[in-house]
Structure 1
Amino acid sequence: MSTAPQDRTDLIRSSRFRAEREASWRQLEALVTRAEKAGVAALGYEAARDLASLYRQAMNALSLARAISMDQALERYLEALCARAYLVVYAPQESIRGVLGRFLTQRVPQTVRRAWPPLLLGFLAMALGVLVGYVLFQQDQSWFFSFVPSGLSDGRAPGASVSYLRDTLFDGGGRDGDTMGVFAAFLFSHNTQIAIFTFALGIFAALPSFVLTFYNGLVLGAFYALFASAGLGYEAFGWLSVHGVTEISAISIACAGGAQLGLAVLQPGHETRRAALRRVGPDAVTLMILAGLMLIVAAGIEGFLRQIVQTTQWRLAIGWGVGGLWLLWVLCGGRAPSGGRG
């Protein structure tokens, strides 16, 4: 049999093939390693030019190695090297920080502006719940117990003294730093659960999201009416505003995200429901991410600042000031420069 002479011929041919080109492969490998660690921009013009040229040479060598049946170890090496070089040359060169920055400065505000119809409905559902809860409490205070869970009221209920209700609005002195941290974590967990339920239930024809948002408004309206009936409406408004502007907006935004999914199921238009869900899904998830970010901020404010800041005026300034920053972000972020086209 003549397999041994043929094997020796193939080995000699592979060795010669590798010896003629190995220097350029090593150079390419070094450039790829540098680019993977520091980015293509760190290579400089000449190194970047060499990278592109050496990558083309390596691809030609890989094609030739496959055509003349070189040994498998050489082919695997070239395939791995060319794959790494391809990602360096053609893949988007953007860091995680860049992706996150673009998401926050462009994607989020643009999505909020596109989603203004369901956002408007979400805020209206919350506002309507507040109004109904307030009016029903004024007519019959027993409605308070129907709307507000006992664990949430913490003794703040019809029949409580004015002095006790006032003390609950200005109780920062009774909490140390560790206690406020635990409290903030609890609030974030509780509010996040509400937002997730509001978002997730939206896929069921959108109505459950609005109902849950409306119910949260009922709780808020009855709670505020309790303090207003005791002559503490202004103080309670400041107490709620410091975190509520952000928190209520977050729940309404989560409602809008869920509603987008539900409306895609109810009215897919000329698309299939699956295609409609795929189309609105990214925007809906973006709204939910925004709601989660806002809830983190709200929990920090509610767990720390509301306990530390003991004047109503400062609470109002902080709450509505932060709300103004959110609004400024979503209205102005991600817009093309005024002098640009398109």
Structure 2
Amino acid sequence: MREVAFIKQNKEKWLNFEKTIFGKQLKNPDELASLYIQLINDLSYAQTYYPKSKIIGYLNQLAAKAFQKIYKTKREDKNRFIEFWKTEVPLIVYEYRRYVLYAFLLFFTFTAIGVLSAAKDDTFVRLILGDHYVNTTMENIEKGDPVAIYKSGSNWGSFIGITLNNLYVGILTFVLGIFGGVGTGYKLLQTGIMLGAFQYMFQAEGVLWESVRGIWIHGAMEIFAIVIEGAAGLILGASILFPKTYSRFVSFKIGVKNGVKILISTFPFTFAAGFLEGYITRYSNIMPNWLSVGIILITLSIISYYYLVYPFIVNKKLRHSYGVV
């Protein structure tokens, strides 16, 4: 069958399915599952006979939306709060997994630029971090406590101030995605270059390990969360630039809705990072190495698992529940 004939034959069915998925009046879960299996069959056919067709992207996107709607309908009697974290967010992250990859690639690239720039230009670190911060840090290094700057202020005051600032940065990183993702890219650029220059400063002074075992106690979750917030911003930008089969307004609404959910999912990690910075990091210089490294590995593992591993597990489980391999 020619591709044009295939599309003509199934177009009405796909449009009706799309209305069912995005409409307010939902069919029962069993009927939705039946329609979903038909959609998967069409997707498989298209992938086999029209591997370069744009229709594959459309059917993939429709299938991903169907996953979320079917599961939500099936489990609507369950605790909504628990389902949000347990199922809804992971499925959204899985659907937009390539944007998570883009965000990490951008961030790592910008961090590398920060390191190389600091290595090639002696004035770069001061340009990025400011004279006051650099001078204070250099004094602390001479005193034998490179991360002493994190000991200023009270525990609770630091926790509140740091957490509010990180929440502001995360929300701004997402919201700036409205400019086609360029604003989000700029925030990732700022954060990445700052991190690269920051870590190189300690490397140049021969205290990189001392800084890592202290700063990354809270930094693992803090930085990771910012990258995920960057991914949410890129999703928002892409919804405007690449509406695909939707009108630009409908695509934008979908991008905002899903982006906000991903953004909200980072808040607990941001709070945890603020708590660690306010109450734990300040004691890193008196901790044994195994404890500080253990905290870093545990926090990094938790947030990495939730965003990089768990979405695939949830998606696979849901597919199996509907007999789709």
TM category (shorter chain) comes to: 0.5 to 0.7
Q: CA deviation at 1:125?
A: 1.9
Q: Report the Cα distance in structure 2 between the residues aligned to 1:168 and 1:256, rounded to whole angstroms.
A: 32
Equivalent residue for 1:281, pick from 242, 253, 256: 256
Structure 1 residues 252 and 93: CA distance shift in structure 2, 3 A:
closer
Q: Does 1:257 align with 2:235?
A: no
Q: Report the Cα distance in structure 2 between the residues aligned to 1:209 and 1:152, rounded to whole angstroms.
A: 26
| Cα RMSD, aligned residues only | 2.5
Q: Which amino acid aligns with 2:190?
A: Y
Q: Report the Cα distance in structure 1 between the residues aligned to 2:267 and 2:130, rounded to whole angstroms.
A: 23
Q: Report the Cα distance in structure 2 between the residues aligned to 1:267 and 1:338, rounded to whole angstroms.
A: 27
Q: Does 1:317 align with 2:298?
A: no
Q: Match for residue 242 of structure 1?
A: 217
Q: Match for residue 166 of structure 2?
A: 191
Q: Report the Cα distance in structure 1 between the residues aligned to 2:253 and 2:235, rounded to whole angstroms.
A: 11
Structure 1 residues 256 and 152: CA distance shift in structure 2, 3 A:
farther
Q: What residue ranges of structure 1 are gaps of 5+ in the alignment?
A: 1-91
Q: Report the Cα distance in structure 1 between the residues aligned to 2:267 and 2:142, rounded to whole angstroms.
A: 35
Equivalent residue for 2:304, pick from 309, 318, 327: 327
Q: Match for residue 169 of structure 1?
A: 147
Q: Report the Cα distance in structure 2 between the residues aligned to 1:151 and 1:110, rounded to whole angstroms.
A: 44
Equivalent residue for 2:180, pick from 205, 210, 213: 205
Contact 2:89 2:265 in 1 (8 A): yes
Q: Which amino acid aligns with 1:318?
A: I
Q: CA deviation at 1:171?
A: 7.1
Structure 1 residues 188 and 123: CA distance shift in structure 2, 3 A:
same
Equivalent residue for 1:131, pick from 100, 112, 129: 112
3-state SS of 1:156 partner = helix
Q: Does 1:293 align with 2:272?
A: no
Contact 1:129 1:214 in 2 (8 A): yes
Q: Report the Cα distance in structure 2 between the residues aligned to 1:137 and 1:125, rounded to whole angstroms.
A: 18
Q: Match for residue 86 of structure 1?
A: none
3-state SS of 1:112 partner = helix
Q: Report the Cα distance in structure 2 between the residues aligned to 1:150 and 1:102, rounded to whole angstroms.
A: 48
Q: CA deviation at 1:339?
A: 6.7
Q: Report the Cα distance in structure 2 between the residues aligned to 1:132 and 1:119, rounded to whole angstroms.
A: 20
Q: Match for residue 221 of structure 1?
A: 196
Q: Which amino acid aligns with 1:207?
A: V
Q: Match for residue 34 of structure 1?
A: none
Equivalent residue for 2:99, pick from 86, 94, 118: 118
Q: Report the Cα distance in structure 1 between the residues aligned to 2:84 and 2:122, rounded to whole angstroms.
A: 46
Contact 1:250 1:290 in 2 (8 A): no
Q: Match for residue 182 of structure 1?
A: 157
Q: Match for residue 271 of structure 1?
A: 246
Higher CA-based Rg: 1
Q: Which amino acid aligns with 1:140?
A: D
1:220-276, Cα deviation, whole Å (9 max, x unpaired)? 111111111111111212223211111111111111111111111111123221011
Fraction of identical pairs, as percent:
19
3-state SS of 2:157 partner = helix
Contact 2:218 2:276 in 1 (8 A): yes
Q: Report the Cα distance in structure 2 between the residues aligned to 1:188 and 1:135, rounded to whole angstroms.
A: 30
Equivalent residue for 1:233, pick from 208, 217, 228: 208
Equivalent residue for 2:136, pick from 138, 155, 170: 155
TM-score where L is the length of structure 2? 0.68
1:24-51, Cα deviation, whole Å (9 max, x unpaired)? xxxxxxxxxxxxxxxxxxxxxxxxxxxx
Equivalent residue for 2:84, pick from 92, 103, 115: 103
Q: Report the Cα distance in structure 1 between the residues aligned to 2:241 and 2:283, rounded to whole angstroms.
A: 47
TM-score where L is the length of structure 1? 0.65
Q: Report the Cα distance in structure 2 between the residues aligned to 1:272 and 1:339, rounded to whole angstroms.
A: 32
Q: Report the Cα distance in structure 2 between the residues aligned to 1:138 and 1:285, rounded to whole angstroms.
A: 38
Contact 1:109 1:329 in 2 (8 A): yes
